[in-house]
Structures are given as structure tokens and as C-alpha cells.
């Protein structure tokens, strides 16, 4: 990593934030697929009003990233990830290390028409599984944590978790990212870390909706706590270790995204509670809110596995079936829970 620039794919808010963090420790090549946006970034060197670090240079192609960089961080929304990795694959080598930042899942079927009774869980893939499936890269990792992009761009203190089955991936990720304002932890439970980053998105939607109705901190604490329990049950059904949900990438990220208007998913839920239509909200955002996609995939998973997930089921009805949020809150409050932290027995 110290001998080569680090590559970043995707120049949205989070891609730019990661690029700036990496640039504090060395040179960075940043690739943006949209040629007009790429030219604008080269000229103005700003993303969402924040400056790009002087150590960042714009790359002209994926081939340039692959030939120049040993360590690569894709920061692409989940719905575009497979196309990106297929386009990238002819240039990638087995000696590359790839650590993705995408908090989403990919489905090998149409999530809008799929039947939960007939889907196969193996057709729902994490981004690391897609990388392994579509490229010759072996050493793959993921990062997740309380990493709100705008706060990272504003150089506020934060932390993240680098997950991989390979120690050298964790080591390279830590060395590339760590700084006086950014702590980096490591773990081998890559599946758990990827799922924490995905599943917290729908809980953040619910938190935003409750905030939009004027509910306070007691309600938010209840939502976060029971939301984490649901995340653990769903993750357990998919083979993840519950300990990943109790650390920085789990409860840490959940608290951040359920408490901040800077979270896109929180903002979507808030605006739904205020009466805006989902299509209008998504159009005005200008960036992807992964929670909407997570809701669709999550519902297929819980319907298929029969995992108890009343929060997910209820917020799904709010977002896609126009269930009023005040009625949704009453439904969730009536759901029986006899033991606290019962998920620790899994």
C-alpha cells in the first residue's frame, strides 16, 4: 500500500469521505463512472461542499485503477455493484486486495416480483461474495461502522471495523485508514460485519419515521434496542455471529444512523412520516438510500426463514403499503416480548 496509490471506486458522499481518509496516509486514485461528474470533480475538487484532499487524483478508467493500485476500496451502491465488478474484473489480478464499503445486498432475482416461498437464500449475496464470484481476487474485506459521510468529510472523530478472513487484508486496511481522528478495528467475521451494515438501514428508516411524528428519546431507545434484537435474529438465520452486532459495526452504527438527520435512511423515514411520497423523496435525495432496498430484501428473508421480525414487517407496510405511522407504532407496542436481551442465548 505504501508503494502504490490506493484506489477508490465511486465518488459519492461516502466514496469521497473514504478517499479523503486514505489520502491522509498516502496517494489516492478516485474513479467516478459518470464522465461529466468526473470532469466536474477534477475541475472543482469538491463533493457536497467539502474539499477533496490534495493527495487525491481522479482516475480516467477502471483499468488505470487496477494497473496502478494494489489496495482498492469500492464505494458503489448495491444495485450497481455487480455491473461495476463485472466491468472491473478483466483488469483485476489475484494479488489485489479489495475492501468494499457498500452496506447492501445483491439478489440474483427481481426483488419486486420474487416469492419468498420459492427464493433460495444462496441467491442473496453480500458484496464480498459477489467479488469472489465475479473476479479472481481472493483477499476480500469489508468495512462498517458509525461512519456518517458528512461527519467524516468534516474531519470529526469516528471509528470503523475492517473485516476479512485474511489477516493481511485487515492489516492493510487498518494501516491505510487509521489516523488521529479515525480508529480502525479488525475482525474475521466478514459476514456478520456486512450484515450489520445492511440490516441497520431499515431500523434507521423506522427511527426517522418515529422522529417525524415527534416521538422522543425513550421511543428511540426502545426502537434501537429491539431493532438490534431483530438484526441479530436475521443475521443468525443467515449464519452470522451475534457478537458482530454488539460491537462498533453493529450497535455503534445503529445508534449513529438512528439518531442523525445526516443519515439518508433516517431522512427518508422522517419525510415519509411528514406525508411525502416515497418516489418524490428518492428523486430529491440524489443518492441511494439503501434502507428502501434492504426492506424489500429483508422481508423476503424473514418470510422465507420465518424469523420473527415485527419491526421490519411493520415498517415495510409503512413504506410500501401506506400504513399510517401512528398505527404502526401502536402495532409494534402491542407485540409481546417477555425477556430482555433474550438473543444472547442464541
Helix (H, G, I), strand (E, B) or coil at 295: helix
Per-residue exposure over 236-246, b if at least 16 CB sit within 10 Å of its own CB, e if not: bbbebbbebbb
User: 228 — alpha (psi -120 to 50), left (phi > 0) or beta?
Assistant: alpha
Q: Are 156 and 181 in contact (CB under 8 A)?
A: yes
Bridge partners for 179 per DSSP? 182
Catalytic residues: 200
CA distance 112 to 2: 45
Cβ-count burial 32-66 (b if 16+ within 10 Å, e if not): bbeeeebebbeeeeebeebebbebbbbbeebebbb
Phi, psi at residue 124, to the nearest 5°? -105, 115
Burial code (b: 16+ CB inside 10 Å, e: under 16) for 248-261 equals: bbbbbbbbbbbbbe
Instruction: State the cell numbers at 339.
Output: 425477556
Amino acid at each position: 500500500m505504501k508503494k502504490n496509490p490506493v484506489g477508490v471506486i465511486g465518488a459519492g458522499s461516502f466514496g469521497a469521505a473514504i478517499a479523503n481518509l486514505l489520502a491522509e496516509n498516502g496517494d489516492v486514485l478516485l474513479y467516478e463512472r459518470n464522465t461529466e461528474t468526473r470532469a466536474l470533480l477534477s475541475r472543482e475538487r469538491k463533493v457536497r461542499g467539502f474539499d477533496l484532499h490534495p493527495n487525491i487524483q481522479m482516475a480516467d478508467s477502471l483499468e488505470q485503477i487496477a494497473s496502478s493500485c494494489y489496495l482498492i476500496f469500492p464505494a458503489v451502491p448495491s444495485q450497481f455493484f455487480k455491473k461495476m465488478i463485472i466491468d472491473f474484473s478483466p483488469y483485476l489480478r489475484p494479488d489485489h486486495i479489495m475492501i468494499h464499503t457498500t452496506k447492501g445486498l445483491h439478489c440474483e432475482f427481481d426483488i419486486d416480483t420474487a416469492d419468498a416461498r420459492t427464493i433460495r437464500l444462496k441467491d442473496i449475496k453480500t458484496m464480498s461474495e459477489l467479488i469472489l464470484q465475479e473476479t479472481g481476487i481472493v483477499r476480500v474485506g469489508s468495512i462498517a461502522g458509525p461512519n456518517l459521510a458528512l461527519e467524516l468529510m468534516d474531519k470529526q472523530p469516528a471509528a470503523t471495523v475492517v473485516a476479512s478472513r485474511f489477516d493481511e487484508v485487515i492489516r492493510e486496511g487498518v494501516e491505510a485508514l487509521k489516523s488521529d481522528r479515525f480508529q480502525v478495528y479488525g475482525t474475521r467475521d466478514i459476514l456478520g460485519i456486512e450484515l450489520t451494515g445492511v440490516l441497520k438501514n431499515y431500523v434507521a428508516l423506522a427511527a426517522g419515521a418515529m422522529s417525524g411524528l415527534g416521538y422522543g428519546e425513550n421511543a428511540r431507545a426502545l426502537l434501537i434496542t429491539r431493532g438490534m434484537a431483530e438484526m441479530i435474529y436475521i443475521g443468525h438465520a443467515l449464519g452470522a455471529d451475534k457478537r458482530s452486532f454488539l460491537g462498533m459495526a453493529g450497535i455503534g452504527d445503529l445508534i449513529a444512523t438512528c439518531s442523525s438527520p445526516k443519515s439518508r435512511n433516517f431522512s427518508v423515514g422522517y419525510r415519509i412520516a411528514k406525508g411525502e411520497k416515497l418516489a418524490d423523496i428518492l428523486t430529491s435525495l440524489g443518492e441511494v438510500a439503501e434502507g428502501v432496498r434492504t426492506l424489500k430484501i429483508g422481508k423476503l428473508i424473514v418470510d422465507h426463514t420465518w424469523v420473527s421480525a415485527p419491526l421490519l414487517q411493520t415498517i415495510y407496510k409503512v413504506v410500501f403499503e401506506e400504513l399510517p405511522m401512528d398505527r404502526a407504532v401502536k402495532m409494534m407496542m402491542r407485540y409481546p416480548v417477555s425477556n430482555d436481551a433474550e438473543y444472547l442465548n442464541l
